[in-house]
Amino acid sequence: MYIFKRNSPFICSFVHSSLLRSLTRMATVSGSETFLPLALMDKCIGSKIWVMLKGDKEIVGKLVGFDEYVNMVLEDVTEYTYINNVKKVNKIKKLLLNGLNITIMVPGGVPVNYYDYEEKLEENIA
């Protein structure tokens, strides 16, 4: 597996970084540049991301690298698992995440007080 890293001469075995840059630039819409998903992920390397997975799992961690299949290497990971409306929190130092399990990826990590808001919402429903 080849990991995408910023300032790397090759992004993967068959895509040179300059070719990737030319492929990722799309037509501008109202003056702002639009990026393809892999280009956006490349900009997220070194920063926190929030990943929602199939099932009832969410992961928050720093993106270290990724490949063309969106398999990710994350570090300083917090895993949130929901079983029968009970939240379980697990800390993981480093994690290799299979891209097939990802449903949503949010750059910047979890919004402030997201889980506090979620708990209050559940209390009001019950």
Helix (H, G, I), strand (E, B) or coil at 84: coil
Residue 21 reports pLDDT greater than 60: no
Return the number of other C-beta atoms located less than 10 Å from residue 38's C-beta: 17
Whether pTM exceeds 0.75: no
User: For 21-30, 34-43, 66-75, 77-86, which range has the lowest pLDDT when averaged over its residues?
Assistant: 21-30
User: Rounded to the nearest 5 degrees, what angle is found at the Cα of 38, between the Cα atoms of 37 and 40?
Assistant: 65
Give the amino acid at 32.
S
pLDDT band of 125, cuts 50, 70, 90: low
Give the amino acid at 126.
A
List 10's β-bridge partners, or say none. Answer: 16
Domain 47-125: give its CATH code: 2.30.30.100
In whole numbers, what is the pLDDT of the chain averaged over residues?
74
